[in-house]
């Protein structure tokens, strides 16, 4: 049976990440550190044979994907394919708000969000159940087109969380014990029967000296 190797990467840092402000599907760009992280992950993957790169159409993910494509060996991976199915969870009225402001203004909604109620959505947003269905559908659609190939998916923290849960059969309400770091490298294997975890949260390339030629 054929398989698709997947590298899943969360976008680089944004100013709103630093401020603990909910971005959701608002189009927030990378900050200076996020641009640096994007280049680092691009360099870290430069020696790998990557056939295709897919990205959320939100600029923080697209910019990160472009940095990876810039260093790609395969001509087919030098252009990024945008897919709205890789967008962050829609957070409706929470978007643009800090975690502290949400807790103050909407205490009951904040409680349901923080306890991972699978059926809770902020007004105008998505539930975790809806997000899981969207991410599953998107990954299955993309990966099925690339059996035997190696692809990169650049997306968001909520998408990374769903990929981990899918690959490890974690329930949506289960407490998160895994990292969702900006520009971390996560590896999965997709077959028509299952999504399997290969490696998670590799951030060695973000060590300031990890890719510094002068240190070798």
Q: Under 8 Å CB-to-CB from 98, ≥6 apart: which residues?
A: 19, 20, 21, 22
User: Residue 23's closest CA among 41, 39, 10?
Assistant: 10
Q: Which long-range contacts (CB under 8 A, 24 or more apart) does 179-183 make?
A: 180/10, 181/10, 182/10, 182/11, 182/12, 182/13, 182/17, 182/34, 182/37, 183/9, 183/10, 183/11, 183/12, 183/13, 183/34, 183/37, 183/38, 183/40, 183/41, 183/64
Does 88 participate in catalysis according to the annotation? Answer: yes
Rounded CA separation 97/143 (Å) = 34
- Out of 13, 88, 109, 126, pick the active-site residue: 88
> Cβ(189)–Cβ(162) under 8 Å?
no
Token pair 């999504």 is at which residue? 195
User: How many angstroms from the chain centroid is the CA of residue 90?
Assistant: 14
Does 11 participate in catalysis according to the annotation? Answer: yes
Which residues are the active-site residues? 11, 88
């Amino acid at each position: 049976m054929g398989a698709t190797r997947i590298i899943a990467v969360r976008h680089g840092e944004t100013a709103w990440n630093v401020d603990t402000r909910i971005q959701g599907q608002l189009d927030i760009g990378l900050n200076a550190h996020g641009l640096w992280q994007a280049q680092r992950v691009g360099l870290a993957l430069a020696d790998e044979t990557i056939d295709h790169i897919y990205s959320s159409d939100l600029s923080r993910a697209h910019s990160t994907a472009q940095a990876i494509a810039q260093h790609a060996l395969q001509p087919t991976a030098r252009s990024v394919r945008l897919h709205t199915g890789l967008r962050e969870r829609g957070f409706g009225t929470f978007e643009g708000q800090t975690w502290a402001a949400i807790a103050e203004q909407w205490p009951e909604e904040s409680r349901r969000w923080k306890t991972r109620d699978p059926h809770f959505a902020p007004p105008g947003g998505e539930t975790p159940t809806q997000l899981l269905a969207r991410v599953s559908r998107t990954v299955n659609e993309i990966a099925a087109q690339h059996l035997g190939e190696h692809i990169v998916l650049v997306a968001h923290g909520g998408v990374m969380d769903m990929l981990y849960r899918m690959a490890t059969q974690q329930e949506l309400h289960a407490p998160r014990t895994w990292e969702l770091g900006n520009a971390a490298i996560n590896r999965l294997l997709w077959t028509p029967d299952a999504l399997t975890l290969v490696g998670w949260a590799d951030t060695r390339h973000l060590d300031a000296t990890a890719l510094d030629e002068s240190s070798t």
